[in-house]
Amino acid sequence: MSSGNGTDAGAVKGPPRPPPGPADPVERLLRERPELSVFGADWLRTWAPRARERIAGMARVLRRYPWMAELIGQGPVGLIGPCSVEAYVSRDGSEACISLFGGWAYCSADGSNVKRLELEFKGLEPHGGRVREVYRPKRPPAFAKAKEYIRIL
């Protein structure tokens, strides 16, 4: 019932509630790591519960090498699973590569000139108390020393 002065006698007064946060964890993830938007919200909803650590690693690599995100955005992202994405960096740090389906890697220094390489496993090497994988091109460019690439993702 109303008392006539515009207030409701049955209304409960108390401290104001804070605005609700994002209900969807994927929206929060995209706000924290916008570089993952290249994969799309549906892809993230599918894979985030199963491969959270892998997706966080992918976000770090995409933040460091933004040209990789542009390259991923050009292809059919729905076919890619997070475990099929691999990233490499040359031993001297001058180039980085991304491989989406295995086999072929797309390498570039800054994203302006992307070349396609087929990398093969060379071996393992100790590094800072851990072991890392080393790769090299199957067919090195003519008259050039083949670079070695370290797997970072």
DSSP labels for 43-92? Answer: HHHHHTTT-HHHHHHHHHHHHH-HHHHHHHHTS-GGG--GGG-EEEEETT
Q: Residue 9 — pLDDT band, cuts 50, 70, 90?
A: low
Q: Is the pLDDT at 47 greater than 70, yes or no? A: yes
- Mean pLDDT over all residues of the chain? 85
Give residue 1's pLDDT: 53
The continuous run of DSSP H or E covering 134 comes out as strand 130-137
- pLDDT digits 0-9 by tens, 90-121: 999 999 999 987 778 999 998 889 999 899 99
Give residue 72's pLDDT: 87
Q: What is the C-alpha separation between 8 and 114, in angstroms, rounded? A: 68
**Residue 3 amino acid letter:** S
Q: Is the pLDDT at 52 greater than 70, yes or no? A: yes
Q: What is the C-alpha separation between 37 and 62, in angstroms, rounded? A: 11
Instruction: Determine which of 12-26, 47-61, 79-93, 101-115 has the lowest per-residue pLDDT on average.
Output: 12-26
User: How big is the chain, counted in residues?
Assistant: 153
How large is the greatest C-alpha to C-alpha distance in the chain, in angstroms?
93
Q: What is the C-alpha separation between 140 and 121, in angstroms, rounded? A: 14
Q: What is the pTM of this model?
A: 0.78
Average of pLDDT values for 136-144?
Answer: 73
Q: What is the C-alpha separation between 149 and 97, in angstroms, rounded? A: 8
